Structure formats: structure tokens, C-alpha cells
Amino acid sequence: MIFKGLPFFSGKMKQERVREKVRTGNPYVRASEELKKSAEELEKAAQKLNSTFRKRQEAIKKLMWINDTLQKNRDRLQTTSPLRPETSKVAEKGKISGPVSEAQLFEIYREACLNFIQTDKTYYFKLRGHSVFLSTMYKKHMGNLRYYDQEFRKLPENKRESFSDIEGMIANLVITKVNQIGREKFIKEGHQALYSELCNKLLARTATP
């Protein structure tokens, strides 16, 4: 039985050798296989690119959502209780060296919020220069930013930027809040409540006429 099966296996092996010879010897077959492989790699690259594009689109939608909700909240606060930018000061002593306007507060807070959707290198460098602890807390929610840390360490001391007092305080409040309620919840609703709280604490108000 073994000897009867040998011719069959021998024939199969011979066929495989012939096929391999044809594949390696025929330039058209070889080119066809290379094209097929290139097409498969191109399809994989296209799928990866499409996935990256979708993620970026989702991030942009979230950016627009936070921007819109903060703007609406800002308009509502100004309608119900007008603010005096020229006399607005931080309530807690020593937190800021001078007055801060509501417009300035809004921009600083918005930037801090948006960086929990998509990291900005310049903002992260300022955060890293301000506090290693806060930057570590930030990375817990935004993933490993080792490449940013490496770039930061390469910067000479005189080229490293840091936050102003008010920027550092707001970054601290935002990161602490995100750590308490989670990033997704903060993006959906928590940022509005914290902004109202900031305005109540940091800005002087006048009575509604």
C-alpha cells in the first residue's frame, strides 16, 4: 500500500516543482503576483486611512460641540448677569497678578477643554513646564505622550514656556474635574457646569439694570 501511494505523492511534488518553476521563470506571473500583493497592501492602507479620518471627524464634531455649548453658556451668563471686565478679579488671593476679563477667562477655559479632545503640542508643553504632576494626570486620560515628552526635554530651559497664574489654575481645575467624573462625561456635560462655577468665583458682577 505504501509503495502504491508513492507514485501519487511523487507526481504531486513534481507538479509543485513545475508550478514553482513557472512562477519564478515567467515574468508575467511574477509581475501579476507582485501587483496582487501591492493591491492588498494598498487596500489595508486605505482602510487604516479611512479609520483615522473617521476618528478625526468625530474629534472635530466634539470640538464644535464644546465650542457651541460654551458660547451659549457664556451668552446666557452675560444676559442674566452682566460682567465688568475692567474690574474683574480673581476672588482667591494670590492666584493672579492682575484683572482678568470674562473674554480672557472664556478663551483660556475653552482651550483647556478642547485639549481633552485633541492634544495640542504647544498647550501640552506649557502644561508640562507648569507642573509635572498635572501633565501626568492629563496623560492618564489622553494616552501615552512620550514623543511630546521627548521633544520637551530637548528644549533648552530658556525656550520652555509655562502657564500664567490664571492658565495654570484653570488647567488644574479642568484636569481635576475630568479626573473626578471622567473624560467622556466632562466633554458631554461637565464642562458647562464648571464654566458657570468659574465665572461665579472669578469674575466680579454688577446688578442687572
Query: Do 85 and 156 share a domain, yes or no?
Result: yes
Query: Do 116 and 19 share a domain, yes or no?
Result: no
Query: Do 175 and 75 share a domain, yes or no?
Result: yes
- Is 55 a member of any domain? no
Query: Do 147 and 192 share a domain, yes or no?
Result: yes
Query: Do 32 and 118 share a domain, yes or no?
Result: no
CA distance 76 to 79: 5
- Is 207 a member of any domain? no
Q: Which residue range is the domain that position 28 belongs to?
A: 2-49
Q: pLDDT (tens digit, 9 = 90+) per residue, 75-92? A: 554 444 444 433 333 334
Query: Do 194 and 103 share a domain, yes or no?
Result: yes
- Going from the C-alpha of 25 to that of each of 20, 30, 90, the distances in angstroms are 8, 8, 81
Query: Do 93 and 121 share a domain, yes or no?
Result: yes
CA distance 108 to 47: 37
At what angle are helices 121-130 and 165-181 packed, to 10 degrees? 100
Tell me: pLDDT of 9 over 60: no
| pTM of the entire predicted model | 0.54
pLDDT-derived band at 103 (thresholds 50, 70, 90) equals: confident
Query: Do 140 and 195 share a domain, yes or no?
Result: yes
Query: Do 32 and 127 share a domain, yes or no?
Result: no
CA distance 175 to 137: 7
Number of folded domains in the chain?
2
**Which pLDDT belongs to residue 127?**
92
Query: Do 114 and 186 share a domain, yes or no?
Result: yes
Instruction: Name residue 205's beta-bridge partners.
Output: 83
- Is 44 a member of any domain? yes
Give the chain's mean pLDDT. Answer: 71
Q: pLDDT (tens digit, 9 = 90+) per residue, 104-137? A: 888 888 888 888 888 888 899 999 999 999 999 9
Sign of torsion over alpha carbons 144, 146, 147, 152: positive
